[in-house]
Amino acid sequence: MYRKPPDLELEGLFKRHFTTVEFFQGTIMNPIDLQRVKVHEADACLVLANKYCQDPDAEDAANIMRVISIKNYSDDIRVIIQLMQYHNKAYLLNIPSWDWKQGDDVICLAELKLGFIAQSCLAPGFSTMMANLFAMRSFKTSPDTQVWQNDYLQGTGCEMYTETLSLSFTGMTFPQASELCFTKLKLLLLAIEVKGVEGADTKISINPKGAKIVANTQGFFIAQSADEVKSRSDTQTYIPISIYVSCLVYLS
């Protein structure tokens, strides 16, 4: 939603994805427009910042006002806001209905950049890897390109996807499951969703060495496409491989 109609480039993007995206001309500051787009029925509301703005603080202030308008209309809706400056995060705490436990969250671009720089000091190449995962790229191998360049370009085409692990993984440790995914299914399993006692709380655990896979565990993969992950998550495919890995019996 925006008060001005989209430009030709953005309009073309909306038309290419017309089955999943719809543009509404209006303003979040108007409750009538919020009712028109059925904000109260939405799973979440995403407020994006203009990273090309000349005044980052003014952009953050305008977006925080948009969050206040959304929360005044529907205080229980989850809001994810993108801010330019880290120090402006404190103003969100003054919103009475802002609740981190409910899922409200803030993405600070400056904080992300500084965090990437810091992590790259500890692990060289970290920022490059994360940038490649966040960006959508396609790759084409060429016989004129060196092997390492083809491998790198193939890696830049990968993104992060989620998929529920097959029941055949139940009882495996995370190292066993990740080894199976990499060697047999050509998928890179990075993390899983770990549930708390009686499923009350859940958290994403990266490389949990001692964790065991339970039924309906959500896995986080790095792959070329979502179809690639889904097509290889068939239970019938996993059963013989998992039995083989656990050294019980091998079904050819």
Helix residue ranges per DSSP H, the chain: 8-16, 31-36, 56-73, 109-122, 126-134, 147-156, 174-183, 226-231, 235-245
Q: Which residue has the higher pLDDT, 250 or 158?
A: 158
pTM of the model as a whole: 0.64
pLDDT at 170: 87
pLDDT (average), residues 30-46: 91
241 pLDDT exceeds 70? no
pLDDT at 82: 94
Fold assignment, 160-245: Alpha-Beta Plaits (3.30.70)
Q: What is the pLDDT of residues 189-218, one digit of tens each?
A: 989 988 776 655 778 888 888 888 888 888
Asked if the 8-112 domain carries CATH number 3.40.47.10, the reply is: no
Q: What is the pLDDT of residues 85-132, one digit of tens each?
A: 989 999 998 999 998 888 899 999 888 888 889 999 999 988 888 888
Helix/strand number for the chain, H first, E second: 9, 7
The helix (run of H) or strand (run of E) holding residue 6 is none
Where in the chain are the domains? 8-112, 160-245
Confidence of residue 56 (pLDDT cuts 50, 70, 90): very high
**DSSP secondary structure code for residue 83 in this structure:** E
pLDDT (average), residues 146-169: 85
